[in-house]
Amino acid sequence: MEKLFSITLYILKGSGVTLGLYAITAVFSMPLGLMCALGKISKNKVLSKAVSLYTWVFRGTPLLLQLFFTYYGLPVLGIRWSGPFAPAALTFILNYAAYLTEIFRAGIQSIDKGQYEAAKVLGMNYSQTMRKIIIPQTVKRILPPLGNEAITLVKDTALVAVIALAEILRNAKEIVTREFIITPFFIAAAIYLVLTSVIVLTFNRMEEKYSYYE
């Protein structure tokens, strides 16, 4: 029992990296995704095409490849990292922002055109219309896909093990390699299940809150 406790404790130490990467990605990818979505639907063709290229590249290539390029490739071009966490965070932010761009774009374009016309009649400019009318309705509509991305993000953090970041899965694998037991994998799976369950419950509550006003 004592050994099981020590194994669990060691694996949980990796949750700091997992949760840290998760938080940074969520905090920065959402506003970046929203800004890119607004850029993609703007009348500025140069901006729209630039955002389209960005989403095409990051949605069309594997996250693991992007992680390798940021961590191993950019130093070749002269960009040095003090550790693996910064390139991991940058990669995850850019990757998830690309997916969120399309989610936000679809949500914004799903709002009836009459909403824009009504706002114009009320004397609102484009910025006020988006901030006070369109974006709040968009958030309500995109909660389900946002929830899916939030769950996927928890699992994708395991990829940073390949660049020597001591997150949950890497710590579990170390014990498996050293002790020749598979118990750490079950413990890691349980931790991931707890984290994803918390996210599911959070988004379910949010959906219930918004549906109250329907």
Give the per-residue SS3 of the chain: CHHHHHHHHHHHHCHHHHHHHHHHHHHHHHHHHHHHHHHHCCCCHHHHHHHHHHHHHHHHCCHHHHHHHHHHHHHHCCCCCCCCHHHHHHHHHHHHHHHHHHHHHHHHHCCCHHHHHHHHHCCCCHHHHHHHHHHHHHHHHHHHHHHHHHHHHHHHHHHHHHHCCCCHHHHHHHHHHHHCCCHHHHHHHHHHHHHHHHHHHHHHHHHHHHHCCC
Q: What is the mean pLDDT of residues 157-179?
A: 92
The confidence score (pLDDT) of residue 200 equals 95
Distance CA(111)–CA(148), nearest Å, equals 21
Q: Is pLDDT at 214 greater than 60 in this prediction?
A: no
Q: What is the mean pLDDT of residues 16-39?
A: 96
The domain ranges of the chain are: 18-165
Query: What pLDDT digit, counting tens, does each position of 39-88 carry?
Result: 999 989 999 999 999 999 999 999 999 999 999 999 999 999 988 999 99
Q: What is the mean pLDDT of residues 100-119?
A: 90
Query: What pLDDT digit, counting tens, does each position of 133-163 carry?
Result: 888 888 888 999 999 999 999 999 999 999 9
The CATH topology of domain 18-165 is: MetI-like fold (1.10.3720)
The confidence score (pLDDT) of residue 211 equals 67
The confidence score (pLDDT) of residue 145 equals 94
Distance CA(149)–CA(54), nearest Å, equals 18
